[in-house]
Amino acid sequence: MITGRIFDIQRFSIHDGPGIRTTVFLQGCPLNCLWCGNPESISPQPVLSYEAERCIRCGECVPVCPERALTLPRAGPAVLSRPRCTVCGQCIAVCAPHALELVGELRSVPDVLQVVLRDRDYYQASGGGLTLSGGEPLFQPAFAAALLEAAQQQDLHCCIETSGYAPWGALADLLPLVDLWLYDYKETDSVKHEAFTGKPNRLIVENLERLHAAGATIRLRCPMIPQHNARTEHLEGIVALSRRLPNLTGVELLPYYDYWRAKLPRFGLTARLSDSVRAPDAPTVRSWQQFLRDRGVNIVGG
């Protein structure tokens, strides 16, 4: 039975494709974006979440940890040593307040589909369906294909949110299974793209062009990050790309938000994006959208 590593299933999602949807978030991503909204999803392996404020000092986790990564000081919550932790998960079973949790579990296609189908009536009423996100869904291509095929057999509308950074074969296999590609375009300049995400953008653009040539239905999604890609040169790159790919359904700008920062302590992570980067105000977002509209780009989703 094909299984995939899932770190979240979000029901009643309204931002990941048309209508009311269920978004399944797959673990693992080949990119490492400075502004990643789901930093817990980058690793393909399970990660340990620890919320110290939920600790009740019961001490049950300390003796079960084989690596002695957990200690209980005289005062305050239990202390987790990340370097010693091997994410074996033994502490989770004894943590009554769920201060310790494992993020990223293996689940089968029928198991996930059962959750998705709970809201079939809402999909039919709103034109919604299933969306695969991440992480990067193409990082687990066999599971993504199996889940999408099972969803298509249930007549569900299927979207995939992807960076496009994968071997072409992974995308080609999904062509008959995906109704709408939500395709990220993060940076026009390949050198800057590598600095921001860890990878150059050549493969991403090549895959996008091949999808377009194959007749896929594609919405271009462009995260806009102040002090990084939110600049005229990148907006001009979006215009040029849209003209080169005239059958795109439109371009959706995704203004930066910083909710992800609150997640970092749970996973022992530190921010690599300066605190000076702030979410843009509404007039700024409208100016980006108008810049594109004035040059013939179809703006969707905002």
- Please report, for the chain, the start and end positions of each structural domain, with discontinuous segments joined by +: 3-44+106-293, 47-103
pLDDT of residue 25: 98
% of the chain with per-residue pLDDT over 70: 100
Give residue-wise pLDDT tens across range 74-121. 999 999 999 999 999 999 999 999 999 999 999 999 999 999 999 999
pLDDT of residue 302: 62
Strand bridging mode 100-103 / 47-50 = antiparallel
CATH class of 3-44+106-293: alpha beta
Handedness of CA 290, 294, 297, 298 (dihedral sign): positive
Alpha carbons 111 and 11: distance in angstroms, whole number: 15
Give residue-wise pLDDT tens across range 37-77. 999 999 999 999 999 999 999 999 999 999 999 999 999 99
Name the CATH topology of 47-103: Alpha-Beta Plaits (3.30.70)
The CA-based diameter of the chain, rounded to the nearest angstrom, is 65
Indicate the pLDDT class of residue 301, thresholds 50, 70 and 90: confident
Query: What's the predicted TM-score (pTM) here?
Result: 0.94
